[in-house]
Structures are given as C-alpha cells and as structure tokens.
C-alpha cells in the first residue's frame, strides 16, 4: 500500500532561502509616501532573499514584552541592504514605532527571508496585480527583473486611491505599470476600480498571477482573474490587514 | 532576553492570559488570509472523505455529515500572522466521529488535510483526536462564510490557524509525516502557538 499523493497546490519555489533571527542596523529612513516609512536595513550575516519573500521585525520593550509583524521586502537580492516598506496603521503597534520613532543607527531584530510561495522565480512570465502598498513585493520582483535584464517577463497592474499614496509610484510608472486610481482621475480615465478589461491586455497564457493587497482587494482581484479564465492553480494571493 | 528596542514601550501592558506569546487580540475582526482564490462550493456538491491508512475509507455528503452527532467548539483561535480571536463559537462534527467510522489502522500516525483548492496541511493524528479537532459549518450560529472556508472547514484551535484547512474535502491518514502546503513553504510542521512554532526551525 502506498501513501496517496495529496499535494495539488503548488509547492512554491523549491528550496526557497530562509534565515533565522538577525540583528539589523537601520541605514536609511525615508518617508516618500504619507503615513508610511521606507527602511533600509544593514542585516548582519544575511541570507539573500528571493523577490516576494518577507521579513519579520521584532520590537522589545525594556520589560521584555515583544511585538512582531511581517513586512514584504522591496529590494532586489543584489542590493547590499534590505529595504522594507511599512504602511503606518492608525492603531498599529509595530508600524507606528517604525514610522514615527526609528532613526538611522537604531538596531532592530529581524528574521528572514521567509516564504516560498509568493515568490517569483526570475524566469517565468508573471502578471502582478497590487492594491495600494501591496506593490511592495512586486517592486522587489521588478528590480530583480531589471537586474536580470528580463523586465519583459513582468506585467504590472496597480490599484490605489491616489497616485500620491502609491509607494514607488515613479519606478512603477517608468516600468510601464498600469496604475488605476480609485479616488482621482488620471488622464482621460475617470476615478474607478480595476476592471476585467484592464487586465485583459496584460494577461497571457503561461503567466503566474500574483495578487497582493488588502483582503477585500485580493478577493476582488482573484475573482477578476478567475473571470478571465485564469486557472485557480495559476493564482497566488498574499493578503494583509484585518477585515470586519 | 533580547536587547530592548530604543524608544519602544509596547502598547498592551496588561496581557490577557489567553494570549499566547507574540499574539495580539484582534477584537471583533476576523481577518481573512488565504493563499489562493476562494472557491465557490455549494453544499450539494461538497463531501468529505476519510481515507489512507484506514480500514473503511468513507465519504459523507453534506446531508450525511449533518446526520452525524453534532459537536461544537467555544474558545480562542490563533493565527501565525499574530492575531488571536477570543470566544469563538463553531459548530459541526468532531473529527473523532469521522475517524470512528473510518477506523485508522495501527500504523496511522499522521493526517494530511486537503481542501477543494488543493491546499494541504499535515498534522499528527494525536492533534486531531481526543476532542481537539472538528469539521465545522457554522460560526456564531450562522453558515460559515466562504472566505472563512465555507461551507466546511477543519478546525484545530489549539494550533496556528493555517492547520485549520478551509474548504476541507479530505482527511488522509498516513504512516509517515509529509509536509503540507505552508509546511513546504517555510512554516513549522506542528504550529503550537504557546511554543511560537511559526517557522521551520522554531
């Protein structure tokens, strides 16, 4: 009698790198987008990540109390620093500290890279669909593609309330990303949500579709892709933030 | 103890003893976290099968599952993404009831749970027996919403919630452990929140 083969959903990238707890020194702090912070970290003895992986940041209070959260990496593996983009949540505990308190020279505990599923392999065509700060892992993918000379493999669609709120807006627009704004018109396009007809010209058979954003965005984008005939096994979703 | 982070005091000073380390109380919210597009499954087409190292592989339809002795869970749930939710109420049937019908063989030591989407997660048999695991179709007295795994999900509340596979359709008894979906992708094989077994190597 043999064990049944039960794994159908993809295994992600085989042997995706993973790293344990490390000490990171904050090398740079920028706030190019309101209510968020971009941290550049010098991670001691770091394990190179794959684009799409994330890091955990752990904060410790003087009495030993700790709080930790996960953040996607925006930098490419070849970048000497690890770049995290953190959206400041109004009631956040870790994100508010990172956005309001952290300065260059501070030392943070980080763990990563983590995750083998929401990872681009660097050789397969991919459609990247982001809501708001969900673009962060896609920025890592784009930067990786640029380093490899393979930006032709990626198609990017982003939905955000206003262009001002879009992390890495200039970089994404320069790369030819479709940017849909829900609260302001852009060019001849009125304010509105990402629609199926937006994705039709971007979708090609053989692509893996990566979706990243809030739970409600991810659900809507997943449905759009299924409606276009994308097979469920070709859709990878990363969601963040609580819902009601 | 790690060196304190400059300027960090932490917000929640009175920790609820029900909170495992590294978790926070999400309150009334119930975050949705899924790696794949939610499938639309009608109760009429849903079934659950218990197979593998069992004497009587068995499949129950929606109606058949609902004729089994009901069982419920009242208590807390914990997600590896650090939220915990207190005082949840789920209803369905105990996994013990399903296993009693299928009769695991002596060599069965592990379970692979499989969802309609192909999502898998592995568990020691001891973690789903003895009143510790359910398949559930009700949350707070209402049908389980699709985004939370409806019509039916696995519920193993003493482990991180990725073990509570949504859209459950199969429990396969195994002689040897093998990693499921997240377990192949960097997460811990068992996932005990009180031991913070989040990632491989914890």
pLDDT in tens, A206-221: 999 999 998 889 889 9
Chain B positions in Cβ-Cβ contact with residue A228 (cut-off 8 Å) = none
Residue B110: alpha-carbon gap to chain centroid:
14
Which of B4, B11, B182 faces A60 most closely, judged by CB atoms? Answer: B4
Q: pLDDT tens digit string along B30-69?
A: 887 777 777 888 999 999 999 999 999 999 999 999 999 9
Give B-chain residues touching A12 at CB under 8 angstroms: 184-185
Other Cβ atoms within 10 Å of A88 Cβ, number: 17
> Is B5–A106 a contact, with Cβ atoms under 8 angstroms apart?
yes
Whether B178 sits inside 8 A of A12 (CB atoms) is no
Q: Please report the residues numbered 37 through 56 in chain B whose beta carbons come closer than 8 angstroms to any beta carbon of chain A.
A: 37-39, 51-53
Q: Does B2 touch chain A (CB under 8 A)?
A: yes
More confident call, A189 vs B172:
B172
Check residue A242 and give its pLDDT.
43
Interchain CB contact of A214 with B (< 8 Å): no
pTM (two decimals): 0.85
Q: Which two tokens stand for residue A5?
A: 């083969």
Residue B181 has pLDDT above 50, yes or no: yes
The stretch B17-41 carries a mean pLDDT of 84
Q: pLDDT of A34-74, one tens digit each?
A: 999 999 999 999 999 999 999 999 999 998 888 889 999 99
- E-strand ranges in chain B read 24-25, 47-52, 58-61, 71-78, 83-94, 110-115, 120-124, 134-139, 142-143, 153-155, 168-174
Determine whether the interchain pair B118/A226 forms a contact, defined as Cβ–Cβ distance below 8 Å: no
pLDDT at residue number B117: 87
Res. B82 pLDDT band, cuts 50 70 90: confident
Nearest CA in chain B to A234: B36
Sign of CA dihedral A18, A68, A243, B20: positive
Q: What is the pLDDT of residue B118?
A: 87
Kindly state the percentage of chain A with pLDDT values over 90. 76
């Amino acid at each position: 009698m043999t064990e049944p083969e039960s794994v159908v959903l993809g295994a992600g990238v085989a042997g995706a790198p993973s790293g344990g707890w490390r000490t990171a020194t904050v090398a740079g702090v920028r706030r190019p987008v309101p209510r968020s912070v971009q941290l550049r970290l010098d991670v001691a003895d770091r394990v190179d990540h794959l684009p799409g992986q994330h890091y955990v940041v752990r904060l410790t209070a003087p009495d030993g109390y700790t709080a930790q959260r996960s953040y996607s990496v925006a930098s490419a593996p070849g970048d000497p620093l690890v770049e995290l983009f953190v959206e400041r949540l109004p009631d956040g505990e870790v994100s508010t500290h990172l956005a309001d308190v952290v300065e260059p020279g501070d030392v943070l505990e980080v763990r990563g890279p983590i995750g083998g599923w929401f990872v681009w392999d660097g050789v397969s065509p991919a459609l990247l669909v982001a809501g708001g700060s969900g673009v962060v892992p896609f920025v890592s993918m784009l930067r990786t593609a640029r380093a490899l000379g393979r930006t032709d493999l990626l198609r990017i669609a982003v939905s955000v309330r206003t262009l001002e709120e879009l992390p890495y807006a200039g970089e994404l627009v320069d790369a030819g990303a479709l940017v849909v704004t829900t609260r302001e018109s852009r060019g001849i396009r009125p304010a509105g949500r990402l629609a199926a007809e937006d994705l039709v010209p971007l979708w090609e058979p053989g692509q893996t579709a990566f979706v990243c954003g809030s739970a409600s965005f991810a659900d809507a984008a997943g449905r759009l892709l299924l409606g276009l005939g994308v097979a469920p096994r070709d859709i990878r979703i990363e969601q963040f933030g609580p819902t009601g | 103890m790690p060196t304190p982070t400059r300027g960090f005091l932490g917000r929640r000073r009175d920790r609820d003893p029900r909170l495992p380390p590294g978790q926070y109380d999400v309150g009334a919210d119930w975050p949705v976290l899924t790696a794949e597009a939610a499938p639309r499954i009608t109760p009429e087409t849903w079934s659950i099968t218990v197979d593998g190292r069992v004497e009587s592989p068995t499949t129950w339809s929606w109606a058949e599952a609902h004729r089994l002795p009901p069982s419920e869970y009242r208590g807390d749930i914990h997600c590896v993404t650090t939220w915990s939710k207190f005082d949840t109420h789920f209803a369905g049937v105990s996994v013990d009831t399903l296993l009693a019908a299928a009769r695991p063989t002596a060599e069965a030591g592990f379970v692979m749970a499989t969802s309609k989407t192909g999502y898998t997660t592995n568990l020691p048999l001891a973690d789903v027996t003895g009143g510790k695991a359910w398949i559930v179709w009700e949350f707070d007295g209402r049908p389980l919403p699709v985004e939370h795994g409806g019509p039916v999900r696995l519920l193993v509340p003493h482990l991180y919630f990725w073990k509570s596979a949504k859209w459950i359709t199969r429990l396969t008894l195994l002689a040897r452990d093998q990693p499921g979906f997240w377990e192949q992708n960097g997460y811990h094989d068992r996932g005990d929140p009180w031991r913070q077994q989040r990632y491989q190597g914890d």
